[in-house]
Amino acid sequence: MANTNAPNGFQQYSGTGSAPTYEQVALSISPTSSTNPQIFSGDPVAQLSTGYICQLGTNSTTNTPAAGSGVLVGVFIGCKYLSVSQKRTAWSNYFPGVGDVNSAAGVEAYVITDPNAKFIVQAGSTAVGVANIGENIGVAYGTGTGSNTNTLGTTPGNVSTGLSTAYADSTSVMGTAATYPFRVIGLANYAPDGSNPLQSIPGNDYTAAYNRIIVSFNNTAMKSGVLGT
């Protein structure tokens, strides 16, 4: 059965053994900037010179946002802010933009920055196979849905679910360059010997496009990039 093209960002992966916690670090999103983008759960995010974070850009061979500043710092999983419309503190798996934010209260974002964290993410229209394990890879985004207001960073996510449309850019960006933000360390649900009893389930067939892979951080604010193999 063919894999499904339905990217939903970088989702936390437990790995083997005891489940890691991947502590969530509290960072800030600008509550006032007219160019501040929405940020969705599973988005890789960059930290700007202002200290605020934004969605990582489409320049996927590096760890900088499209605006040309900042550096990949982690993966966004949610935030809290004082909602103007709801008249209360809102906890959300995505940041909806500055329109509903009480700017005096600020926006607290929760980001996985652990340099040892691992994530499951969909590959692009070029399949990622066993031979690609150990290579470095960039980031791209699918088509967002709903009312999106991004003007900095990249294409938006899904406002209905709050989920990212980010995926691993296997189509044009995969190789050894140390600047690439992520590293391929495995294939979803595959045993060390290369077998996979779930291969017939969409997302698990590495011979077809849009298969799901396991990645780790390669080049981030917390970890210097290394050459891929």
Instruction: Indicate whether 105 pLDDT > 70.
Output: yes
Q: CA-based angle 100:105:110, to the nearest 5?
A: 80
Of 139, 149, 137, 208, which Cα lies nearest the Cα of 174?
137
Would you report the helix, strand and coil content of the chain in percent, each value rounded to 5? 5, 35, 65
How far, in Å, CA of 182 to CA of 72, rounded? 10
Place of tokens 């909602």: 83
Percentage above 90 pLDDT, the chain: 27
More confident residue, 225 or 28: 28
Compute the distance between CA of residue 102 and CA of residue 37 in angstroms, rounded to an integer. 16
pLDDT at 67: 40
Residues 6+ apart with CB under 8 A from 195: none
Among the listed residues 5, 138, 7, the one whose alpha carbon sits nearest the alpha carbon of residue 64:
138
**Confidence grade of residue 72 (pLDDT, cut at 50, 70, 90):** confident
Residue that has been written with the tokens 């759960």 in this structure? 41
Distance CA 204, CA 214 (A): 11
Among the listed residues 28, 45, 60, 53, the one whose alpha carbon sits nearest the alpha carbon of residue 157: 45
What's the pLDDT at 31? 82
Q: Which pLDDT band, with edges at 50, 70 and 90, does 34 fall under?
A: low
Q: How far is it, in rounded angstroms, from Cα 61 to Cα 168?
A: 11
pLDDT at 88: 92
Residue 35, CA atoms < 13 Å, CB-side half-sphere: 9
Whether the model clears a pTM of 0.85, i.e. scores above it, the answer is yes
